[in-house]
C-alpha cells in the first residue's frame, strides 16, 4: 500500500490502492497447479508484479501465451543485461536463444536474485512453451530470433546516433509490440496491426524506461550500461556519466528534456494503435502501461532527481491508472492530463522548448479532437484539503482490520 504521507496528500488513492491489493492477492491465488505452469506464473509475479496484474485481464489461453512470451524475452534480456558474462559467451547464446526455447533441458546460469532462478530453471518455461498452440509458438520463436540477433549486434556496438537508438529500442521493445500483435491476431480477436504502430508501442515504453533508469544503468557493476545516444548527450557533456556531477545539473536537465522530447514522437502512433483494439481485455492490457509511460515522462521532465536517485509514479497514482483505464476516453483523458502537467514544466529557455511544446500541442490536439475528454475523471486535482489526517488514519485502521480478517497470518508474512 502507499505510505501514510502519500495518502494524507492524496486520500482518493485509498480505494484504488485497496482494489489493487485485492487484485494482487486474487492473481496469486490463480497460479496454476501444474508444476511448470505454476513456476511460470510465480516467476511472473516475482520479475514484474505490475505486469502480472495487467496480464490477468486476458482470457486463459491468451494469458498463458503472453506469460510465456514475456518470460522468454525476460530471460533473453537477463543474458543481455548480465555484464559479468563475457561477450564471446553471451553473443552465441543470444543468437541461438530461439532454438533453446524448444529444448526441455536447456538452462544457463546468469543474472541475480529472481532472474537467476528464472535462468537456472528455464527448462520449466520451455515445457510450458511446448504446450502452446503452434500459432503462438511460431510468433514467439520469430520474435525471439529477431530480438536475440539484434541484442547480439548491440553487444559489440555503441548507441551513437538517434537512428542507432531507435534501432536498439526496436530490437529490445519494438519487437515485443510486434510479437504481442501477432499473439492477439493468433488468438482471433484482433486484426494484425501495422508493424509501424506496434513498433511505436514498444519504443515509447522502452525510451521511457531508458530515461528513468539513467542512474541505475550508469552505475551498473562491473560495467556501465549506456543507452542514451551520443548524438543527443554529446551536445551537453563530454562523457555520459558527467551528468551525475552536480556542477553539470543544468546541462543534465537540458539533455533529459531532449530525451523526453524524442520519446514524445511515438505518442500519436500509440494512440492510433490503441484506438483500433476491439477486445476490452486486450485494450486494458495494452493501455495501462502506455498511460504509466506518459505519466512517468511527465514526472521525469525537467527533474534533476533522475540523476540522483529513483523517480517513479507514486503507487496510489498507479492504482488509479489500473482502476480507471477501461476505454479510449480514459486513455485520451490520461494522455491529455499528463501532457498538460508536462507542458506546465517546460522552461522557455530550454534549448528544446519549442520542439517540446510543438509535440505536446500535437498530442493535446489529438486528445481534444477525440471529443471524449468530458467522459473521464481527471488526474489533475486542484484541491484535496477537505480530507483530514484523521480521516486517512481511520481509513488505514479499517484497511488493517480488513486485511487481518482476510488473512490472519498477514502481519507475519
Q: What are residue 221's phi and psi, to 5 degrees?
A: -110, 135
CB 63 within 8 A of CB 131: no
**Average model confidence (pLDDT) across the chain:** 89
Identity of the highest mean pLDDT range in 7-16, 149-158, 262-271 = 262-271
Cell 529472481 belongs to: 114
Has residue 186 got a pLDDT over 70? yes
Q: How many CB atoms lie within 10 A of CB 219?
A: 11
Q: Which DSSP string corresponds to 50-86? A: HHHHHGGGS-HHHHHHHHHHHHHHHHHHHHHH-TTS-
pLDDT of 381? 52
Cell 476490452 belongs to: 280
Burial class (CB in 10 A: 0-12, 13-18, 19+), 21: middle
Has residue 379 got a pLDDT over 90? no
Has residue 68 got a pLDDT over 70? yes
Q: Which of 146, 225, 230, 315 is catalytic?
A: 225
Burial class (CB in 10 A: 0-12, 13-18, 19+), 43: buried
- Is residue 225 part of the annotated active site? The answer reads yes
- Is residue 122 part of the annotated active site? The answer reads no
Has residue 57 got a pLDDT over 90? no
Q: Which of 168, 184, 307, 335 is catalytic?
A: 168
What are the angstrom distances between the C-alpha of 207 and each of 202, 229, 354, 356? 9, 11, 21, 16
Q: Which of 63, 124, 212, 314 is catalytic?
A: 212
Name residues whose C-beta falls within 8 Å of residue 214's C-beta, 6 or more positions apart in sequence: 228, 243, 256, 306, 307
Give the model's confidence band at 385: pLDDT under 50 very low, under 70 low, under 90 confident, else very high. very low
- Is residue 168 part of the annotated active site? The answer reads yes
For 251-310, the pLDDT digits (tens) are 999 999 999 999 999 999 999 999 999 999 999 999 999 999 999 999 999 999 999 998
For 76-100, the pLDDT digits (tens) are 999 998 988 999 999 999 999 999 9
Name residues whose C-beta falls within 8 Å of residue 29's C-beta, 6 or more positions apart in sequence: none
Name residues whose C-beta falls within 8 Å of residue 92's C-beta, 6 or more positions apart in sequence: none
* Assigned C-alpha cell, 94: 543470444
CB 228 within 8 A of CB 259: yes
Has residue 50 got a pLDDT over 80? no
Closest of 76, 383, 50 to residue 205, by C-alpha? 50
Q: Which of 97, 187, 236, 285 is catalytic?
A: 285
- Is residue 212 part of the annotated active site? The answer reads yes
pLDDT of 402? 57
277 three-class SS: coil
Amino acid at each position: 500500500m502507499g505510505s501514510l504521507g502519500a495518502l494524507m496528500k492524496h486520500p482518493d488513492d485509498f480505494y484504488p490502492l485497496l482494489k489493487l491489493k485485492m487484485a494482487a492477492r486474487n492473481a496469486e491465488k490463480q497460479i496454476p497447479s501444474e508444476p511448470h505452469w505454476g513456476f511460470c506464473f510465480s516467476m511472473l509475479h516475482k520479475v514484474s508484479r505490475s505486469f502480472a496484474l495487467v496480464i490477468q485481464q486476458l482470457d486463459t489461453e491468451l494469458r498463458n501465451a503472453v506469460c510465456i512470451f514475456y518470460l522468454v524475452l525476460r530471460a533473453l534480456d537477463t543474458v543481455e543485461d548480465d555484464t559479468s558474462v563475457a561477450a564471446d559467451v553471451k553473443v552465441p547464446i543470444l543468437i541461438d536463444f530461439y532454438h533453446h526455447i524448444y529444448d526441455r533441458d536447456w538452462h544457463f546460469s546468469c543474472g541475480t536474485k529472481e532472474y537467476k532462478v528464472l535462468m537456472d530453471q528455464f527448462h520449466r518455461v520451455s515445457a510450458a512453451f511446448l504446450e502452446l498452440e503452434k500459432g503462438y509458438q511460431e510468433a514467439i520463436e520469430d520474435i525471439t530470433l529477431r530480438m536475440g540477433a539484434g541484442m547480439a549486434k548491440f553487444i559489440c556496438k555503441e548507441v551513437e546516433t538517434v537512428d542507432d537508438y531507435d534501432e536498439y529500442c526496436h530490437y529490445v521493445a519494438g519487437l515485443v509490440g510486434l510479437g504481442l500483435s501477432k499473439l492477439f491476431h493468433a488468438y482471433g480477436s484482433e486484426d494484425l496491426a501495422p508493424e509501424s504502430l506496434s513498433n511505436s508501442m514498444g519504443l515509447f515504453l522502452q525510451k521511457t524506461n531508458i530515461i528513468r533508469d539513467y542512474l541505475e544503468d550508469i552505475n551498473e557493476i562491473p560495467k556501465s550500461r549506456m543507452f542514451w545516444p551520443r548524438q543527443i548527450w554529446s551536445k551537453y557533456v563530454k562523457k555520459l556519466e558527467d551528468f551525475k556531477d552536480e556542477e553539470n545539473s543544468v546541462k543534465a536537465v537540458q539533455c533529459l528534456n531532449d530525451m523526453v522530447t524524442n520519446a514524445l514522437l511515438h505518442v500519436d502512433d500509440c494512440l492510433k494503435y490503441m484506438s483500433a483494439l476491439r477486445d476490452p481485455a486486450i485494450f486494458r492490457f495494452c493501455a495501462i502501461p502506455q498511460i504509466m509511460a506518459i505519466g512517468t515522462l511527465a514526472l521525469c521532465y525537467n527533474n534533476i532527481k533522475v540523476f540522483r536517485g529513483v523517480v517513479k509514479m507514486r503507487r496510489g497514482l498507479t492504482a488509479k491508472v489500473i482502476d480507471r483505464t477501461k476505454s479510449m476516453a480514459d486513455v485520451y483523458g490520461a494522455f491529455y492530463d499528463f501532457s498538460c502537467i508536462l507542458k506546465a514544466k517546460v522552461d522557455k529557455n530550454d534549448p528544446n522548448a519549442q520542439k517540446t511544446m510543438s509535440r505536446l500541442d500535437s498530442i493535446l490536439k489529438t486528445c481534444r479532437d477525440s471529443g471524449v475528454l468530458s467522459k473521464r475523471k481527471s488526474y489533475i486535482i486542484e484541491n484535496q484539503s477537505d480530507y483530514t489526517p484523521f480521516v486517512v488514519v481511520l481509513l488505514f485502521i479499517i484497511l488493517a482490520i480488513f486485511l487481518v480478517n482476510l488473512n490472519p497470518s498477514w502481519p507475519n508474512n
